[in-house]
Amino acid sequence: MSDQKLKVIPLGGLGEFGMNCMAIRYGDDIIVVDAGMMFPDAELLGVDIVTPDFAYLEENKEFVRALVLTHGHEDHIGGIPFLLSQLNIPIYGTAFTLALVERRLEEHEMLDEARLHRVKPGQKIELGPFHVEFVHVTHSIVSCVALAITTPLGVIIHTGDFKVDPTPTDNVLFDLHTLAEYGKRGVLLLLSDSTNVDRPGYTASERAVLPRFEEIFNRAERRVVVACFSSSIHRLQQILDLAATVGRKVAFIGRSMLSATEIAHNLGLLTIPDNLLLRPQDIMSVAPHKVVCVVSGTQGEPMSAMSRVAVDNHKSLSLERGDVVVHSARIIPGNEKAIGRMMNHIARRGAEVVAGSMNPPIHVSGHGSQEELKLLLNLIRPRYFVPIHGEYWQMSKHAALASHLRSYGLEDTFILETGQTLEIDRHGARKGEKVTVGRICIDSGSIDEIVEDMVIRDRRHLSEDGFVIPIIAIDKHTGKCEGLPEIVSRGFVSMEERSELMASARQVVLRTLETSSNEERTDWGVMQEKIRADLKRFLNKQTQRRPLIMPVILEV
């Protein structure tokens, strides 16, 4: 056995949802598994997306061999343009996953330089000391793989996102056989998805939604509008097949929906019956009982297609009384209010909303429940186990789920958080030193528009206390104030309070000017700081609030 250490370095996705990214290092060789993003929480004002801080990879860029992708969801591929802007490494993934990556790289004008390598389930590649086999798994998006990474110290299995679907719509089963074979030969470390660890039993098959859709399609007297994730190709296939059976035409609406269906169709992953598709611009001219619209924007995103349809602001579709709108997607935590508002707008148009949990279901999860997580643990029987993809409490629960394996060779379970490394050598495994990790906040999706922590702090400050701008005109020859200072405020105090308070504030600024020396008055930097300090003290005393104060001095 080698004296080199094997290190597992989570750069995102452990102890949080989204931003999935993990580096695996052996000696001076590193491979990266996934490079995702997440959408910001309410505190990150004005931020569009959040990616991991790839500083560790940039510091070690001469050692990074490749980026290996498990599947094409945004929380696994959304950070790729930002990673490639720092180090251009080869990328390995299935055809559908790479097609989604290509679209993203095209938006950032980075596709020409990217080195993309297509792989198929069952294929093996060699990346320095790492031998990676791609193992087919089932999930809510097509072409997903787990990774069996053979290292000089043993095999690491990284499940990616998965559920064990016994009846997938494309009839391509989860490759449990290959994982069981690895389990027989011995697995050093298992990294397994923890998303649904709190759900007992098994996650329902993708086919479980069909009875509910059949019921809706058969009883609806007018249009059926289905809001679902554009990446749910299995769901889209069932909708297409069912529409053909009941004699309805299908129109796809939304940029991501059109893009995903085009990619899936070109790769042979989505079969569209002849004469079934309807152009969006023809929806309103076809008899309503003959139409199904499939729309992107399930999370109530402000400018998404479904949000625009809900407020009757979409060029192709206008909801009418008697239409049925089906929300066939999970509610991502944090989006409850936006989705609720969207559904209220839909109901105001007189349409029926079908959403929430029901039996048969209108939506099923893409992540395995407790029995599936146990099944994988029992098949693989690793020496060490690290739960991944989830909040700390979920990973902790997943670790407890594995405790029964201690009599079958499981030596230890580690609950890691982003930045906390795991070291393995011939003596065993232990937590290693932490690496510097963080998150990069990005405005409007551009690589160039990284938002600093200070900017977010200022935005939070503005949102809570508003701002005050004292405007002072000073004679550049005499250094004297020309007239009373003007004070502009927004988001600070109400109109009734403003006049009296601002009159007093003007006097404070005037007093500051009068008590300053001629020398100070000709140094704008000094004067701005003095005015800011005096005004801050006065306003805080009067209102117990701390608005952002930005003095403006005009030379006249």
334 assigned ligand-binding residue = no
409 assigned ligand-binding residue = no
Sheet containing 124-127: order of strands: 124-127, 130-137, 144-151, 154-158, 189-193, 384-388, 412-413
122 assigned ligand-binding residue = no
Catalytic residue among 193, 234, 314, 323: 193
Active site residue 427: no
Q: Strand pairing of 154-158 and 144-151?
A: antiparallel
Nearest to 194 by CA among 63, 331, 374, 1: 374
Nearest to 322 by CA among 218, 214, 217, 223: 223
SS (H, E, C) 275-321: CCECCHHHHHHCCHHHEEEEECCCCCCCCCHHHHHHCCCCCCCCCCC
Q: Strand, helix or coil at 440?
A: strand
71 assigned ligand-binding residue = yes
364 assigned ligand-binding residue = yes
- What is the end-to-end Cα distance of the chain in Å, rounded? 79
Single-letter residue type at 500? E
Buried/exposed code over 464-490 (b: 16+ C-beta within 10 A; e: otherwise): ebbbbebebbbeeeebebeeebebebe
Give every CB contact of residue 438 below 8 A, 6+ residues apart in sequence.
52, 53, 55
160 assigned ligand-binding residue = no
How far from 209 is each of 43, 60, 510, 538, CA to CA, in Å? 36, 47, 71, 63
Residue 451 structure tokens:
């938002």
345 assigned ligand-binding residue = no
76 assigned ligand-binding residue = yes
Buried/exposed code over 493-528 (b: 16+ C-beta within 10 A; e: otherwise): beeeeeeebbeebbebbeebbeebeeebbbebeebb
453 assigned ligand-binding residue = no
389 assigned ligand-binding residue = yes
How many other CB atoms are there within 10 angstroms of residue 301's CB atom?
16
Q: Strand, helix or coil at 209?
A: helix
Q: Partners of 24 in the beta sheet?
A: 8, 31
443 assigned ligand-binding residue = yes
477 assigned ligand-binding residue = no
Catalytic residue among 314, 327, 367, 398: 367
Give one DSSP letter per residue of 46-60, joined into a string. T--EEEE--HHHHHT
Residue 212 structure tokens:
């509910």
177 assigned ligand-binding residue = no
534 assigned ligand-binding residue = no
Active site residue 193: yes
Q: What are phi and psi of 223, to 5 degrees?
A: -60, 145
366 assigned ligand-binding residue = yes
Binding residues for Ca(2+) are 46, 48, 443
Binding residues for substrate are 363-367
Which of the residues are catalytic? 193, 367
Binding residues are 46, 48, 71, 73, 75-76, 139, 161, 363-367, 389, 443
Binding residues for Zn(2+) are 71, 73, 75-76, 139, 161, 389
